[in-house]
Chains A and B, each alone.
Chain A
Amino acid sequence: EDQVTQSPEALRLQEGESSSLNCSYTVSGLRGLFWYRQDPGKGPEFLFTLYSAGEEKEKERLKATLTKKESFLHITAPKPEDSATYLCAVPETGNQFYFGTGTSLTVIP
């Protein structure tokens, strides 16, 4: 069965302390890996799509990378406003998404 696993489940960082979030997947025939940010009580907000191993994308303090088995979301010098749950997802059949359980990030001032 295809699986998407995220780690850690929760992460607390001091402001400015860089770190990485992991998303490992076992889907066959990857048709893209998506990263989303979700704030409490809101729907997920699209961040990145990665399609092939070696691909990297950046947005402000975030950089997403992809290998054949996993993706990393690197957060450089995070700020309190980066606090959120970060979800990764991969498409399944019929345009459905299979979501990981997310990493809850808290950045402490």
Chain B
Amino acid sequence: GAVVSQHPSRVICKSGTSVKIECRSLDFQATTMFWYRQFPKQSLMLMATSNEGSKATYEQGVEKDKFLINHASLTLSTLTVTSAHPEDSSFYICSAPGGFNYGYTFGSGTRLTVV
């Protein structure tokens, strides 16, 4: 089945630094990758959609310059949280359409803690 590998699973960084999160589709090509953020006891909120070879599409209220998305190949999408602040601490999850009839495949998530 379709597998999306997400790294790192946990990261702690200092306020003001940048953090990169990677999502790789392991056994299929993902021309589109969705990035979600999830706060404790809340559902997944779509942040942006990355498209291979073109600019990402951001949801309303999501800062493009803060959450940099790159989708340079058919198997890799990255999310970089720039100049991180404590309020950016959250659970970030990527997802790719690995076959619509079988649901979208999610990465295992990244717990970001900014101190």
Binding site for B on A (CB under 8 A): 32, 34, 36, 41-47, 49, 87, 94-97, 99-102, 104
Contacts and interface: CB of A to CB of B under 8 A. Distances in A.
B34 A97 contact: yes
A49 B95 CA distance: 16
B105 interface: yes
Interface residues of B, number: 26
B62 to A, nearest CB: 13
A79 to B, nearest CB: 23
A87 B44 contact: yes
B28 interface: no
B43 interface: yes
Interface in B69-98: 91, 93, 95, 97
Interface string B39-70: 00111101001000000010000000000000
A9 B72 CA distance: 39
Contact of A43 (B32, B49, B57, B108): B108
A99 B32 contact: no
B69 to A, nearest CB: 15
A102 B109 CA distance: 17
B43 A101 contact: yes
Given A43-B6, A87-B44, A96 B49 contact: yes
